[in-house]
Amino acid sequence: MSGMVYNFFNSIINVGFEFYNPIAGAAALVTYILLNTFFMSELMSILLKEKFSYVWSSNFFSMMINVVLVGLLGIVLAFSYNSYGIGGLLLFFIPLLLARYTFKLYLDMRKNYFDTMNVLVRAIEASDPYTSGHSLRVSAYSEAIAKQLGLPQGKIDVIKSAALLHDIGKIGIDKNILNKTERLKDEEFEAIKSHTEIGATIVADLSYLANISDIIRHHHERNDGKGYPDGLSHNNIPLETSILTIADSFDAMTTNRPYRHSLSLEDALSEMKKNAGTQFNPDIIDDSITALRNTYYNLSE
C-alpha cells in the first residue's frame, strides 16, 4: 500500500530529483505509519482487552520516534558506506548490537523485578485465605485506572509496584488480629492501622522500592482528611495514592472477608460513587468506575 501511494504521488508531482521524490516518500511514510499502527493496535486491543484509542495513541507516538531515529540512522549508514565502505558500517553496527543487548538486559531485569514481587506477595498472603490474590487484583485494578486516566507508562509501573506491596506491612501484625472474625478492640484496630507505616519503612530501606514508600504509607488516607496515618486530605494526597486507595477499597468490597460477605459489582460501584469526595478523590472517580467495571469482568473470566 505504501508503495502504491509513493508511485501515485511520484506520477503527479515532479520535484526534479532523478532517483527520489521526497514528497511521495513522505506520503508513503505517513501511510505506512497509519496502517501499521492501526492494525497492530486493533490486534493488541483485542488481545490485551484495552481501549483501542489508548493502544493506538501509545503505539503511534512510539512509532514516530522509531521512524525518525531509524531514518536518521539509515542516512548515517548510507554516508558511512559511501565514504568508508563495509568497514564503516561495521563501526556503527557493533555499538548498535551492544545497545540492543543492554536494552534486553533492562527488559529481563524489569520482568524479574515484577516476578520477584509477585512471589513475595503470594508468600505474604499464603497464611490468610481471605486475602489470597488481593494484592494481585489491586495491582490489576490500579493499572487499569492509571491507563484510563492516560498516565505515562513510568507512573503506571510505579503504581503497579505500590499496589503489589501495599499490604507488606501486615507481616508485622499478629495473625490472630488479622484473621479475627469478631469486632476488633480499639488497640487491635490501632495495630492493624500500623501496617501502613511498617510497610512504608520496609520498602524505604530498599533503594529500588523507595519511590513507592509514600504511596504505601498513605493508601488509607481519605479525601476528607479522616484517614490514617497522617490525616492527609484531597490536595495533599498524591494521585498515585488516590488510585491505589480506590482499587484497594473496591477489591475489599467485592471479596468475602471474615466479618462480612462480598458486595455485588454494581453495589460496590454505587458505594464508590456515594463516597466520592469523602473517602475517594472525586476528580477521578468516574474514570475509576469505568476501569474497575471492565477489569472486574476481565478478572472474572
The answer to whether residue 269 is domain-embedded is yes
Please report whether residue 94 resides in a domain. Answer: no
CB neighbours of 278 closer than 8 A, spacing ≥ 6?
A: 222, 223, 224, 226
Question: Same domain for 109 and 70?
Answer: no
Among all residues, which ones are annotated catalytic? 170
**Domain of 270, in residue numbers:** 103-300
What is the model's pTM?
A: 0.69
Kindly state whether residues 279 and 135 are assigned to the same domain. yes
pLDDT tens for each residue of the chain, 301 residues long: 766 776 777 777 776 555 566 777 777 777 877 777 777 777 777 776 667 776 776 666 666 677 667 666 766 776 777 777 777 777 777 777 787 788 788 778 777 777 777 777 776 666 565 566 888 899 999 999 999 999 988 899 999 999 999 998 888 888 888 878 788 899 999 999 999 999 999 889 877 788 999 999 999 999 999 999 999 998 899 999 999 999 999 999 998 876 678 899 999 999 999 999 999 999 999 999 999 998 987 776 5
Do 216 and 260 have their domain in common? yes
Q: Are residues 220 and 292 in the same domain?
A: yes
Residue 292 belongs to a domain? yes
Query: Are residues 205 and 119 both part of a single domain?
Result: yes
Q: Are residues 114 and 242 in the same domain?
A: yes
- The CATH number for 131's domain is 1.10.3210.10
Residues 116 and 22 in one domain: no
73 and 108 assigned to the same domain: no
**Backbone phi and psi for residue 260, each to the nearest 5 degrees, phi listed first:** -170, 165
Q: Tell me how crowded residue 179 is: count the other CB atoms within 10 A of its CB.
A: 13
**Domain final position from 56, 84, 112:** 84
16 and 121 belong to one structural domain: no
96 belongs to a structural domain: no
Distance CA 162, CA 158 (A): 6
C-alpha cell recorded at residue 178: 488479622
Domain-embedded: residue 93? no
Instruction: State the helix-helix crossing angle for 285-300 and 134-148, rounded to 10 degrees.
Output: 130
Same domain, 169 and 253: yes
Answer whether residue 89 is part of any domain: no
Q: Report the distance separating Cα 34 and Cα 29, nearest Å.
A: 9
Co-location of 73 and 204 in the same domain? no
**Residue 43 located in a structural domain:** yes
Nearest CA-CA partner of 138 in 256, 252, 50, 258: 252
Closest-CA residue to 198 (of 229, 169, 176, 175): 169
Question: Helix H segments across the chain?
Answer: 2-12, 22-48, 52-84, 86-125, 134-148, 153-164, 175-178, 186-193, 195-204, 213-217, 239-253, 265-274, 285-300
Domain count, the chain: 2
Residue 16 to residues 10, 20, 28, Cα–Cα distance (Å): 11, 9, 18
Q: Are residues 117 and 237 in the same domain?
A: yes
